[in-house]
Amino acid sequence: METIEQLKRQVESLQDQLRQQEKMATLGLLTAGIVHEIRNPLNFVINFSKLSGDLIKDLEEDIEANTADIDGDDVEDIRDIMESLKENLQKIKEHGDRAISIIQNILLYSRGKEDEFIPTDVCKLVKEYVWLSYHAMRANLKNFNISILEDYGKDIPMMSVVPQDLSRAVLNVMNNACYAVWDKAQNGDADYKPTVSVKVERQAEELVISITDNGVGMSPEVKQRLFETFFTTKPTGQGTGLGMFITRSIIEEKHHGRIEFDSEEGRFTTFSLIIPIKA
């Protein structure tokens, strides 16, 4: 009887996981369509900010050519206003370019050819998906707010990787780190400062992507079952139990690397994604 009940629970759990996967697949299709449509108006914003910058330069030249006809105080006010406008336009361009970069990465993630290795700026990729994870968590978890410490190596060459797969691995680990610190923060400790540290460095001929959190840590049982399919410590609907299984496949099988982790229950967890450097 106990075996039948266990099988029944496993079937119910699998059904929940499949429903969640179907929901995420649908959401993925919608997201790809949305980001594609957003790209066009963003390009208009960036282009018009550039055109407006050129117009301000023309205006500056006209004012300089006619300063004798304008009151001195008015000239200074006009110059101050134009400097502020130039700074605003530069900010618009910077944030627009960042949004375009995020959109391009999402489209690459959803449309990239399977197992296609592409020369990639891994530091840039990691940074983009670390912050995508952060903003996704903020949208889904109440009162979510953490500190993110970043350290990206300066001597890392463009690397041949499967970018949509490596980004998925980073996203999975970062999501777990964010959830771990959020979960710990629910204990109500006013002195607790949820923090995730991200480091990308070169060690000899290997690239090491390390993500450390000061969250709930892992028990001995969780460490043993970490890479099992459908194993998750999150409530139903919060996790599929496939993230770390997929991550290990991406790092070990596709990129011929390895995953190392260290954790102390109640204190911290560190995951290191280690892959050989192939220029």
**pLDDT tens per residue across span 73-125:** 787 888 888 888 988 888 888 888 777 777 766 666 555 556 788 899 999 99
Examine the pLDDT at 159 and tell me if it is beyond 60: yes
184, 272, 182, 259: which is closest to 227 by C-alpha?
259
Q: Rounded distance, CA 102 to CA 239, Å? A: 24
Please compute the mean of the pLDDT values over residues 231-254 and round it to a whole number.
73
List phi, psi (to 5°) of 237.
95, -15
The reported pLDDT for the residue numbered 235 is: 55
DSSP code of 236? Answer: B
Q: How confident is the model at residue 269 (pLDDT cuts 50, 70, 90)?
A: very high
Q: How far is CA 151 from the centre of its chain?
A: 15
Give burial (CB, 10 Å; 0-12/13-18/19+) of 156: middle
Could you give the residue ranges of the DSSP H alpha helices within the chain? 2-65, 72-111, 122-140, 163-185, 220-225, 243-248
Q: How far is CA 58 from the centre of its chain?
A: 40
Angstrom distances, CA of residue 122 to CA of 116, 140, 167, 171, 275: 15, 27, 9, 13, 11
Residue 258 is encoded by which pair of tokens? Answer: 């390895």
The reported pLDDT for the residue numbered 199 is: 97
Specify the amino acid at residue 185. A
Please compute the mean of the pLDDT values over residues 253-266 and round it to a whole number.
93
Angstrom distances, CA of residue 132 to CA of 1, 24, 76, 116, 139: 46, 16, 42, 23, 11
Write down the mean pLDDT value for the chain: 82
List phi, psi (to 5°) of 179.
-65, -35
Q: How confident is the model at residue 65 (pLDDT cuts 50, 70, 90)?
A: confident
CB 216 within 8 A of CB 184: yes
Specify the amino acid at residue 28. G
The reported pLDDT for the residue numbered 21 is: 60
Summarised one tens digit per residue, pLDDT across range 243-259 is 788 889 999 999 999 99
CA geometry: angle 261, 266, 272, nearest 5 deg: 15
Specify the amino acid at residue 32. A
Specify the amino acid at residue 72. G
Q: Rounded distance, CA 7 to CA 157, Å? A: 50
The reported pLDDT for the residue numbered 15 is: 67
